[in-house]
């Protein structure tokens, strides 16, 4: 109360409205991996530094481009078809040596993240392209991310380059971090995608994936894994103009003399034999970079959160800049992925659907058999609400633990949840059917709680769950007229 000492008119403003809750961002991924550079002002000043960026241009400026490919790791053969002296066509055979190509692909992963709707994210560059991909480097990067409050999604695409034991270690660390901090979600990749697909390869891939995922039920609800890898629209990282023609045949016979173009670079070939160059360029354009889908899915999470809300399942959504999944997953294959009765772990499928393109058709966490936490959107929505309420109630610390404070806290949370219900995040015909907020002596606290300084608030939410199985029941009716 103010102290009044002299006569006059005094104005006091009385606050009757409760404090409000500012919702935290729901889709701020953190990526750990290897980059061409890590420079903002001084060389390598961003090495092992968790750095926020907001655009693809930021990434290019701070972290550089893709890892260059060695021209020795691709062969180009041309069989020129001639009738007399007239060329009638070219048979071009291009053979990339995938086993010896660059192991670094964070550049492409981030590019696909932004193509799929990504926005603000964190990058931790743990090494350059001349450094081996090592579990210790990645673990250090994840430790740095754990110190940041903003990230809500974890992704380490290049972890698939590790051996199975180290890959399990990274997955364990990602999910442990998410479960410990409770404000983030780990997107994991399957350890491999066998190409070409065989009758048993998907089952083998899934077993390998699940063997490299933590088994603890209490933490795996904080992660999801996607299968298979995807073929993007991005060209391989070769300098096409510097590539050389490996062999040149004419009508199946090695070309000789001036007609032999073998050994020429593509730049030279463009000048000396433009028709052949165009045929090679067209064939080369069919070869693309393949990626594990975790970074793409981080972009999907961001896009769905922005368009609909974090409570909408990030599924039945198309992937951008993606040609197709590396393997075609059938309905029987997806049955094995979606509900695995042996392990209780779910793997979310990415399918090629005619007329729709490449579509994400799974929305389960790794704890896929748990009715409480089986869906990604439920887990992520709870995390967002918990973090938002936690930060917005910090004003009440050391406030009087009395009914006046309790009413403010309750009203603040109820107003926030009412807005979530109105937006469609909570299920119920009426607000009281969608959520509750309890606080007070005799309700959530006893006298001992008050004496020991505890203010206990109970919050219940009926989060809208996705319609995963649409069942149409048809019956024949008897003719009645």
230-235 and 247-250 beta bridge pairing: unpaired
* More confident: 159 or 2: 159
CATH class of 29-66+102-234+289-378: alpha beta
C-alpha to C-alpha distances, 122 to 54, 109, 144, 338, 376, nearest whole angstrom: 9, 13, 11, 30, 21
Task: Measure CA of the first residue to CA of the last residue in the chain; give whole Å.
Answer: 83
Mean pLDDT of 158-187: 94
Q: Is the dihedral of CA 219, 224, 229, 231 positive or negative?
A: negative
How confident is the model at residue 468, as a pLDDT?
Answer: 74
What percentage of the chain exceeds 70 in pLDDT?
Answer: 99
Burial class (CB in 10 A: 0-12, 13-18, 19+), 163: exposed
Contact (Cβ atoms closer than 8 angstroms) between residue 182 and residue 386: yes
**Nearest CA among 420, 332, 418 for reference residue 381:** 420
> How far is 351 from 317, CA to CA, in rounded Å?
10
Average pLDDT over the chain, rounded to an integer: 92
Q: What is the mean pLDDT of residues 339-344?
A: 78
What pLDDT digit, counting tens, does each position of 383-419 carry?
999 999 999 999 999 999 999 999 999 999 999 999 9
* Cα dist from 187 to 155, 221, 263, 394, whole Å: 6, 11, 45, 30
- pLDDT (tens digit per residue) in 18-51: 788 889 999 999 999 999 999 999 999 999 999 9
Tokens 């007229």 locate to 481
Res 203: pLDDT: 87
pLDDT at residue 19 in the model? 83
Q: Where are the alpha helices (DSSP H) in 314-436?
A: 331-338, 376-392, 403-423, 431-434
Write down the pLDDT at residue 245: 95
Q: What pLDDT, on the 0 to 100 scale, is given for residue 343?
A: 79
pTM over the 0.85 mark: yes
Please say whether the beta carbons of 304 and 317 come within 8 A. Answer: yes
What is the predicted pLDDT for the residue at 318?
A: 94
Query: Of 45-59, 211-225, 429-443, which range is least confident?
Result: 211-225
What are the pLDDT digits (tens) for 429-459?
999 999 999 999 999 999 999 999 999 999 9
Out of 50-64, 160-174, 316-330, 467-481, which region has the weakest mean confidence (pLDDT)?
467-481
Is 264 in a helix, a strand, or coil? Answer: coil
pLDDT of residue 1: 61
Please determine, for residue 84, whether its predicted confidence score (pLDDT) is greater than 90.
Answer: no
What 3-state class would DSSP assign to 375? strand
- CA-to-CA separations, 69 to 29, 109, 159, 352, in angstroms, rounded: 28, 17, 20, 29
Can you list the alpha helix ranges (DSSP code H) found in 33-87? 56-63
Instruction: Tell me the C-alpha to C-alpha distance, in Å, between residue 408 and each of 1, 394, 399, 405.
Output: 20, 13, 11, 5
- What percent of the chain clears pLDDT 90, i.e. is strictly above it? 76
What is the Rg, in whole angstroms, of the alpha carbon atoms belonging to the chain?
29
Give the model's pLDDT for residue 123. 98
Q: What is the pLDDT of residue 56?
A: 97
Does the pLDDT value for residue 342 go beyond 80? no
DSSP secondary-structure letter at 453? T
Beta strands in 143-250 (DSSP E): 153-155, 185-189, 223-227, 230-235, 247-250
With 70 as the cut, is the pLDDT of residue 473 above it? yes
Domain ranges of the chain: 29-66+102-234+289-378, 74-99+239-286, 399-480
Tokens of 181: 């901090």
């Amino acid at each position: 109360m103010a102290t009044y000492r002299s006569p006059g008119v005094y104005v006091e403003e009385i606050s009757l409205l409760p404090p409000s809750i500012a919702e935290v961002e729901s889709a701020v991924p953190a990526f750990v991996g290897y980059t061409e550079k890590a420079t903002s002002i001084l060389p390598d000043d961003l090495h092992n530094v968790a750095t926020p960026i907001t655009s693809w241009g930021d990434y290019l400026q701070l972290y550089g481009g893709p890892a260059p490919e060695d021209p020795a790791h691709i062969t180009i053969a041309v069989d020129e078809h001639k009738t007399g002296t007239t060329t009638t066509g070219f048979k071009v055979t291009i053979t990339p040596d995938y086993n010896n190509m660059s192991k670094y692909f964070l550049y492409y992963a981030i590019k696909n993240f932004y193509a799929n709707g990504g926005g603000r994210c964190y990058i931790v560059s743990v090494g350059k392209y001349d450094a081996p991909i090592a579990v210790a480097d990645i673990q250090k990067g994840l430790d740095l991310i754990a110190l940041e409050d903003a990230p809500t999604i974890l992704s380490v695409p290049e972890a698939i380059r590790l051996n199975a034991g180290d890959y399990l270690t990274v997955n364990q660390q990602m999910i442990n971090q998410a479960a410990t901090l409770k404000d983030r979600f780990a997107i994991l990749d399957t350890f491999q995608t066998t190409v070409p697909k065989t009758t048993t390869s998907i089952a083998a891939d899934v077993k390998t994936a699940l063997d490299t995922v933590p088994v603890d039920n209490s933490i795996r609800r904080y992660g999801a894994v996607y299968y298979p890898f995807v073929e993007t629209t991005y060209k391989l990282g070769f300098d096409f103009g510097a590539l050389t023609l490996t062999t040149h045949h004419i009508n199946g016979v090695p070309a000789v003399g001036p007609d032999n173009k073998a050994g020429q670079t593509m730049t030279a070939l463009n000048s000396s034999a433009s028709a052949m160059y165009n045929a090679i360029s067209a064939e080369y354009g069919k070869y693309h970079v393949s990626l594990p889908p975790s970074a793409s899915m981080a972009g999907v999470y961001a896009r769905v959160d922005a368009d609909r809300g974090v409570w909408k399942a990030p599924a039945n959504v198309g992937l951008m800049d993606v040609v197709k999944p590396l393997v075609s997953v059938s309905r029987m294959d997806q049955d094995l992925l979606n509900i695995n009765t042996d392990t209780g772990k779910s793997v979310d499928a990415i399918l090629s659907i005619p007329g729709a393109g490449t579509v994400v058709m799974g929305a389960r966490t790794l704890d896929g058999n748990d009715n409480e936490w089986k869906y990604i959107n439920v887990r992520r929505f709870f995390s967002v609400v918990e973090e938002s309420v936690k930060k917005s109630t910090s004003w009440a610390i050391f406030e009087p633990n009395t009914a006046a404070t309790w009413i403010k806290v309750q009203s603040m949370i109820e107003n926030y949840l009412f807005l979530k219900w109105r937006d469609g995040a909570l299920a119920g015909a009426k607000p009281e059917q969608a959520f509750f907020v309890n606080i007070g002596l005799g309700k959530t606290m006893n006298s001992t709680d008050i004496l020991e300084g505890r203010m206990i608030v109970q919050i219940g939410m009926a989060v809208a769950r996705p319609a995963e199985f649409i069942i149409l029941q048809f019956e024949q009716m008897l003719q009645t007229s």
